[in-house]
A and B are shown apart, each in its own frame.
Chain A
Amino acid sequence: MFERFHQYAAPLHFHRLSRKLSPWLFGLSAVLFVAGLVGGLVLAPADYQQGESFRIIYVHVPSAWLSMFCYMVMASAGAAGLIWKVKMGDIMARASAPLGASFTFLALATGSLWGKPMWGTWWVWDARLTSELILLFLYLGYIALQSAIEDRRAAARAGAVLAIVGVVNIPIIHYSVEWWSTLHQGATVTKFDKPSIDVSMLIPLLLMALAFQVFFFAALLVRARCEILEFEQHTAWVRDYLRGGRKV
């Protein structure tokens, strides 16, 4: 069993596995999305305080969760590539960065769309918002470094080091920002106490979180497939595959 697992560390086998798996994952995430959206937008009752606009949490919260999850995926895949020289680690780290940046952006954008009617402003210097924004910058720095280095292997190694540095820094950044914003303007920040959420609202949220998660893995597999083809463009199987000659 372990050997089977091991062989997917090789790009060729991973490519085959990804082609088999990703349609199923996309299908599953579509089903979950429909269930979560119907549950969240239709079935769940409106919030007693925020009315209908609370429903944005069904997009906002899952993307915020995934924005952090992606960074962990990116850093651990990068570390695996750096330490054990697993080629798929390099590929996965590179493939997950743009996804993580997109989720972070989505979390920020939906947050500020919600903030306008609720807090009366697009942006407040709240600790969470600021840390999320810094997370977006960390992603952008990683992507910029990756695209600045021509050689894929070298780019992956450098990116892995940067991602690990980011992981060490994220708690420091998080707590310093929290300390800064509470020191700075604690009273003006609308730090709404998270109300213990009702089950009818919670179930769609969990469904949406699951849908986002599955979607992330499906998209990651597709991106990884493109990365594999670029990483391995000089190998015989990629040439055959691109010519359509051999079924891989």
Chain B
Amino acid sequence: MSALAAAASVLHRDLRRGRRRLGDLAQPLVFFTVVVFVFPIAIGPNAEVLRSLLPAILWVSALLALVLTLPEVFAADYADGSLELLVLSPHPLPLLVLAKAIAQWTTGVLPLIAMSALLGGVLGLDFNTWVAVELGLLLGTPVLCLVGCLASALAVGVRGGPLLLALITLPLYIPVLIFGTSAARNASLALPVDAEMLFLAGLSVLALTLTPFGIAAALRARLA
């Protein structure tokens, strides 16, 4: 079996497992929706204020929902021992964990982005801002997901769960949050957002190339 075929089978397996646990996949979505609706209640029903804060609310809620799913990335594989087999396999581990991260993004994060598109539309984002938020999430969440998988690998089999992971990952998420929200702010003022989008895409490429090695090192460090 070639390395690529092994990675493809890891991806396929994780996607299939996601499909079989739709209920688990829905939980972060529900959490995300509840958080998005909690903010207006705290801020008050001023439509103008809410509309200006909505991109930030969507970003922060997506960030929190994403962090909450992180403990699950390696938990099941760790519990049934297949994570050790993955580490021991003759194929390059960075490639295999990249496949896992892609599966995590597809099953855990893509639905969140779809939900944020829906909520952003329903709560009245203007079209430019809406595009900037969604495009920003599409380009930025790969970074969040990969760095999150790295943190999740570090904390695999450790007590502390989402709180520990939030503490580790949120400081590392700040650049993406900055570019994502400032793109939305620019778009709402009808300013160009190319620079922010390029930064997000660049960070994604950087994360795609570097973090798989970090995740592999983290798993080796934890399971050795």
Q: Which of A145, A161, A173, A177 has the most CB of B within 10 A?
A: A161
Q: Are A148 and B155 in contact (CB under 8 A)?
A: yes
Question: How long is the Cα–Cα vector from A52 to B190 in the complex, in angstroms?
Answer: 47
Which listed residue (A148, A160, A164, A168) contacts B160, Cβ 8 A? A148
Whether A138 pairs with B150 at a CB distance below 8 angstroms is no
Cβ distance B29 to chain A, nearest Cβ, rounded Å: 27
Q: Contacts A145-B155, A145-B164, A157-B221 given: A137-B178 contact, CB under 8 Å?
A: no
Contacting residues of chain B (174-193) with chain A, CB-CB under 8 angstroms: 174-175, 178-179, 182
A165 in contact with B172 given A148-B159, A179-B178 (CB within 8 Å): yes
Report whether B155 and A177 are in contact in the complex, using a CB–CB cutoff of 8 Å: no
Q: Give the interface size bracket for B toward A.
A: 20 to 34
Beta-carbon contact of A172 and B167 below 8 Å = no
Known: A172-B203, A183-B182. A158 touches B171 (CB 8 A): no
Q: Among B155, B159, B171, B214, point to the contact of A134 (Cβ < 8 A).
A: B171
Assess whether A141 is interfacial by the CB under 8 Å rule.
yes
For residue B168, which residues in chain A have a CB less than 8 angstroms away from its CB? 141, 144-145, 162
Nearest-neighbour CB distance to chain A for B174, whole angstroms, equals 6
- Contact indicator B155/A172 (Cβ below 8 Å): no
CB of B210 closer than 8 Å to a CB of A: yes
Q: Assess the A82–B221 pair: CB atoms within 8 A.
A: yes
Asked whether A165 and B178 contact (CB < 8 A) given A137-B171, A144-B160, A145-B155, the answer is no
Answer yes or no: B25 CB below 8 A from chain A CBs: no
Q: B131: which A residues are within 8 A, CB to CB?
A: none
Q: In the complex, what distance in Å separates the CA atom of A99 from the CA atom of B160?
A: 23
A17: chain B residues within 8 A (beta carbon): none
A134 lies within 8 A of B174 (CB): yes
Mark A132-170 against chain B: 1 for CB-CB distance below 8 A, else 0.
Answer: 001001101100110011000010011011101110110
Are A168's CB and B210's CB within 8 A? yes
Binding site for B on A (CB under 8 A): 82, 134, 137-138, 140-141, 144-145, 148-149, 154, 157-158, 160-162, 164-166, 168-169, 172-173, 176-177, 179-180, 183-184
Query: What are 10 of the A-B contact pairs (CB < 8 Å)?
Result: A137-B171, A144-B164, A148-B160, A157-B222, A161-B150, A161-B217, A169-B172, A172-B203, A177-B178, A179-B178
Q: A138-B171, A157-B224, A158-B154 are in contact. Are A148 and B164 (CB under 8 A)?
A: yes
Chain A residues within an 8 Å CB radius of B203: 172
Cβ contact within 8 Å between B221 and A161: yes
Q: Least Cβ distance of B223 to chain A in Å?
A: 9
Interface majority SS on B: helix, strand, loop or mixed? Answer: helix
Chain A to chain B: the 5 pairs with minimum beta-carbon distance, closest first: A157-B221, A176-B175, A137-B171, A141-B168, A180-B178
Tell me the bound Cα distance from A157 to B158 in angstroms. 14
A165 and B158 form a contact (CB under 8 A) = no
Q: How far is the CB of A78 from chain B (nearest CB, A)?
A: 11
- The listed residue (B159, B169, B179, B218) touching A158 by CB distance below 8 A is B218
**Could you say which residues of chain B place their CB within 8 Å of the CB of A179?**
178
Give the contacting residue for B214; candidates A137, A145, A165; CB below 8 A: A165
Are the C-beta atoms of B170 and A158 separated by less than 8 Å? no
Q: Is the CB of B171 within 8 A of A161?
A: no
Q: State whether A145 and B154 are in contact (beta carbons under 8 Å apart), knowing that A161-B214, A172-B175, A172-B203 are contacts in the complex.
A: yes
Determine the distance from Cα of A169 to Cα of B171 in the docked complex, in whole angstroms: 10
Bound Cα distance A164, B214 (Å) = 9
Query: Given A160-B221, A165-B214, are A173 and B160 neighbors across the interface (CB < 8 Å)?
Result: no
